[in-house]
Structure 1
Amino acid sequence: MKRPAIVSLLACGLLLALAGTAQAVGNPEAGKQKNAMCIGCHGIEGYRTSYPTVYHVPRLGGQHAEYLVKALQAYKTGARNHPSMKGIAASLSQQDMEDLAAYYAGAGK
């Protein structure tokens, strides 16, 4: 096989590999506008909730966007079980999840 053909094959393989890992990117500014349901619990330093049990509410700022989207999807499908989060996630679209994740992965608190 000639060198240009090998280079072309490698380049195509690399593009296919990258395309398989591409994620939709949310808009952090839109996420900032959509976070009203989140900040009531996640925006309070050291907050603990008593529903359904005493639970330390995690900080969201600085988490990886992909993790946050997967967590919200899991609450929406019932794979994660927290009544408040299930209710909130049920109301979110995929774009809402991506926007919120982008906001919290960046400068969101």
Structure 2
Amino acid sequence: MSARTLLAVAAVCLSPLAFAADGNADAAKDKISMCVGCHGIPGYQTAFPKTYKVPRIGGQYPEYIKAALQAYKNGDRKHPTMTGIAASLTEQDMADLAAYYGAQK
């Protein structure tokens, strides 16, 4: 994990509401189609580039979701599919998706 990613995670831990207030869960309803194909299937595993268990993101902390998407976008986290998806997201898209999935049970 890079120093930049560690700093982002530390910032999230030290300020748990830093990213939560800026997302709009209702706005994300038009953006989740790129997520549900993998994250919406319980127990789903990808086969590219290797077998990988896709994590459940519903109910995850919004701060973590946003930080993870930012890390995929800036290259600190590596997965071809997630990197491509994150590259297309704006900061507001990330905040909206984080708010939507963070509100799930």
Task: Judge same fold: TM > 0.5, yes or no.
Answer: yes
1:10 aligns with: none
61, 70, 88: which one pairs with 1:64?
61
Cα distance in 2 between the residues matched to 1:57 and 1:30 = 24
Extract unaligned runs of 5+ from structure 2: 1-16
* Bigger Cα Rg: 1
* Counterparts of 2:44 and 2:59, CA distance in 1: 17
- Give aligned pairs, total: 88
Aligned to 1:32: 29
Q: Which consecutive unaligned segments of at least 5 residues does structure 1 have?
A: 1-20
- Poorly superposed stretches of 4+, deviation over 2 Å: 21-24
CA-to-aligned-CA distance 1:14-65 (integer Å, 9 cap, x gap): xxxxxxx643520001112210100000000100010000000000000000
Partner of 1:51: 48
Instruction: Please state whether the residue corresponding to 1:52 is helix, strand or coil.
Output: coil
TM-score, L = length of structure 1: 0.77
Partner of 2:85: 88
CA distance in 2, matches of 1:104, 1:32: 10
Deviation, 1:107, is: 2.2
3-state SS of paired residue (1:34): coil
Give the TM-score normalised by structure 2: 0.79
**Cα RMSD (Å):** 1.3
